[in-house]
Amino acid sequence: MIDTDLLKYLTGFFIVAIAAYEIAKFLQKKLHFPLITGLILTGILAGSSFLGFIPEYVLPKLNFLNEVALAIIAFSAGAELHLEELRSRMKSIKWMSIGQVGITFVISAAIIYYIEDFIPFLSGMPSPVRLIISMLFATIFVARSPSSAIAIINELRARGPFVKTIMGVTVITDVLVIVLFAIIFSLAKNIINDESLNLIFFILLILQIILSVLVGFVFGKILKWFLQTNLNFHFKSIIIILVGYSIYFLNHLLRYQVHQMGIHFELEPLLIAITASFYITNYTSYNHEFEKILNSISPYIYIIFFTLTGESLSLEILISVFGIAILLFLVRLLGLILGGFFGVWGAKDPKKFFWIAWMPYITQAGVAIGLTTIISNEFPEWGHQFETLIIAIIVINQIIGPPLFKWAIKYVGEAHQKHNFTSDDHQKKAVIFSLDSVSLALAKMLKDKGWLVKIITTQEVPENSDIEIIHVDNYNKYEISKLNLGQPDSVILLYPDDQRNFEIAEWIFENIGSPNMVTRLNSGANAQKFKKLGVKIIEPTAAMINLLDHMVRAPEATNILLGMAENQDTIDIEVKNPDMKGLHIRDLHLPQDVIILSLKRKGNTVITHGYTQLRLGDILTFVGSKESLDKVKVRFEY
């Protein structure tokens, strides 16, 4: 029988969630609030403590939405762990992870235990209970936010050893914190329920973790089976959501059965989900499709999750605990700073990292709130106060963390934001010989794509041109040598005289080397001598026929190659990042809207397949959206 009240409140909640998203976007644009903060605040206003759109008694019935969201959050965390791309910084990642997990946990737990008087619900509790709750606080303090880190790194187009370490530590920490949480949470349930800690308990705890990992691999196999079917994208998205919820359903079923037998044993759903995602990402060929589905559904899941989290909070309590939240924020900050010192010292990283190594790890989001929600549901007597306090700390982290993260990346010199280029920048340069409507159109197109363009002409230079046009008396070798062309990336020869174009190409070949040279051929009889110099030839009639042929047979691809497709482009990228060396093309984890058109190695075109290994110096031609190509360029040219 359909629960009509639940259906009514579920509909009401989705309406609130849509409104929360629009309000959060407004606050983000006008007040620069993080989107998560806006969603939580809107949820608080809509909740039972203020407007009462969703009564408090309905929230337990909506808990299944939390469980779906937690599974997707864990899937997303596991999908970020690409082992192959962390090789070159593994030593730094190892030491920094030990520092950020171990030291932050120990320092935070110890200080919180001894400042119980500042935390109302801790005061007066038995010492073992205070200690385990302090450890729960410390576990949440360890959690990071991969999505926030990725957003900042992409915004700054950051690349380098510091950034590589940040991403490795952020993702690995979120895996470790789930394992740590499984242990501490099990201990908490035992101690708070006043049950004995004996050998059987610890054996069951170890079995719980091992079995959760094994079940995670089984769910990974299930996900792989669905991903390899011919179902369309939307059906697969729904299946991934259902698989995520089925992890929690299985845990509820198992817990009920074993509790009937008087045994306290259950699986750890987050550990199962993150293991399944890790398996798909690193050991199957469906990682790209899996990440694409997660990227498409995650925004909707987060809107539901953070809005529902806000609705479960009390505005009055949130305001009352903000002073304590600032104190605990400083406690966490101390742990992060000491952990950063330890990580840099242990890995023997550059000294400039020493004082800023903690800054990238302040921001928290999905995993931290997800773990807090689990604690709140399990221990309702004090869990809601615990949750409200943690949310307040996370709000502070969300406000203070990103600016410090950005400053740290800029300080170590690994930010590569777009800016006005100077002559000293590594901007691609093109030199065009001849001045006509074609050369001007080409120059403007290249300039729009960030190239530095010069036009060399014997004609009179027009006034007020936004293209640099240089006049020469003649196209002879003496005049060209006076131009100080430097090292252009491309030279385009559009003079109507093939012999004159050849003389220019020959001088460039002999004095500059072999940049990419292109000429418009006026007579087919001259083709061979240009080819000997490595000049690429465009014969107008043949080019038009070939273009028409491709436009008829493959119109979409031709539009992309011609730059006519909206927000699509092609780009050549050289492999300079040592972490890419030896990687198979199938393991590159490219954005979903980017594909590889060709690979050139030592001047030869290589026929690529999924198992083609990259080498330093390879030149890959990519096609995709301009935003995604920009991200790919940052990764490959580091």
DSSP per-residue string spanning 148-166: HHHHHHHHHT--SHHHHHH
Return the half-sphere exposure (C-beta side, CA atoms, 13 A cut-off) of residue 555: 1
CATH number at residue 600: 3.30.70.1450
Q: Is residue 586 domain-shared with residue 629, that is, in the same domain?
A: yes
CA angle 583, 584, 586 (to 5 degrees): 130
In angstroms, the Cα distances linking 69 to 104, 147, 241, 301 are 27, 15, 9, 6
- The answer as to whether 139 is a domain residue is yes
Q: Which two tokens stand for residue 322?
A: 């903000």
CATH number at residue 404: 1.20.1530
Final residue before a domain boundary, out of 491, 518, 538: 538
Whether the predicted pLDDT of 28 surpasses 80: no
Question: Are the C-beta atoms of residues 391 and 40 closer than 8 Å to each other?
Answer: yes
- Give the pLDDT confidence of 227-253 residue by residue, as tens digits: 888 888 889 999 999 999 999 888 888
Q: Which two tokens stand for residue 95?
A: 């030491």
**Mean pLDDT taken over the chain:** 81
Lowest mean pLDDT among 150-159, 302-311, 321-330: 150-159
Question: Are the C-beta atoms of residues 593 and 624 closer than 8 Å to each other?
Answer: yes
| Nearest Cα residue to 581 out of 92, 81, 85 | 85
pLDDT band of 546, cuts 50, 70, 90: low
- The answer as to whether 294 is a domain residue is no
3-class DSSP state of 516:
strand
pLDDT of residue 220: 92
- The answer as to whether 457 is a domain residue is yes
347 phi/psi in degrees, rounded to 5: -85, -10
Question: How far, rounded to the nearest angstrom, does the alpha carbon of residue 158 sit from its chain's CA centroid?
Answer: 12
Whether the predicted pLDDT of 269 surpasses 90: no
Q: Is residue 600 domain-shared with residue 516, that is, in the same domain?
A: no
Q: Which two tokens stand for residue 297?
A: 């559904």
Strand pairing report for 568-574 and 490-493 = unpaired
Q: Is residue 403 domain-shared with residue 494, that is, in the same domain?
A: no
Return the half-sphere exposure (C-beta side, CA atoms, 13 A cut-off) of residue 254: 16
pLDDT band of 440, cuts 50, 70, 90: confident
Q: Mean pLDDT across the stretch 98-117?
A: 90
**pTM for this structure?**
0.65
CATH number at residue 490: 3.40.50.720
Question: Are the C-beta atoms of residues 263 and 203 closer than 8 Å to each other?
Answer: no
Q: Is residue 93 domain-shared with residue 150, that is, in the same domain?
A: yes
Final residue before a domain boundary, out of 380, 411, 442: 411
Q: Which residues pair with 622 in a beta bridge?
A: 571, 596
Percent of the chain at pLDDT above 70?
A: 88
Q: Is residue 343 domain-shared with residue 484, that is, in the same domain?
A: no
CB count within 10 Å of CB 555 equals 11
- The answer as to whether 287 is a domain residue is no
Q: Is residue 582 domain-shared with residue 522, that is, in the same domain?
A: no
- The answer as to whether 254 is a domain residue is yes
Whether the predicted pLDDT of 565 surpasses 60: no
Q: Which residues pair with 613 in a beta bridge?
A: 584
Q: Is residue 112 domain-shared with residue 242, that is, in the same domain?
A: yes
DSSP string for residues in 36-57: HHHHHHHHHHHSTTTT-SS-GG
If you ran DSSP here, which 8-state letter would residue 625 be given? E
CA distance 530 to 533: 5
- The answer as to whether 85 is a domain residue is yes
597 phi/psi in degrees, rounded to 5: -90, -40
Q: Is residue 223 domain-shared with residue 89, that is, in the same domain?
A: yes
What range does the domain containing 119 cover?
60-281+313-411
3-class DSSP state of 93:
helix
Q: Is residue 396 domain-shared with residue 435, that is, in the same domain?
A: no
First to last CA, the chain: 59
Number of structural domains found in the chain: 3
Q: Is residue 445 domain-shared with residue 506, that is, in the same domain?
A: yes
Query: Counting every residue, how long is the chain?
Result: 638
Q: Is residue 155 domain-shared with residue 230, that is, in the same domain?
A: yes
In angstroms, the Cα distances linking 18 to 23, 24, 255, 276, 299 are 9, 10, 35, 30, 12
pLDDT of residue 87: 65
- The answer as to whether 33 is a domain residue is no
Q: Which two tokens stand for residue 406?
A: 């950005």
Whether the predicted pLDDT of 143 surpasses 60: yes
Q: Which residues contact 429 (CB under 8 A, 6 or more apart)?
A: 451, 452, 453, 454, 486, 487, 488, 489, 490
379 or 150: which leads in pLDDT:
379
Q: Is residue 350 domain-shared with residue 401, that is, in the same domain?
A: yes
Structural element, H or E, at residue 556: helix 555-561
- The answer as to whether 560 is a domain residue is no
Percent of the chain at pLDDT above 90?
A: 9
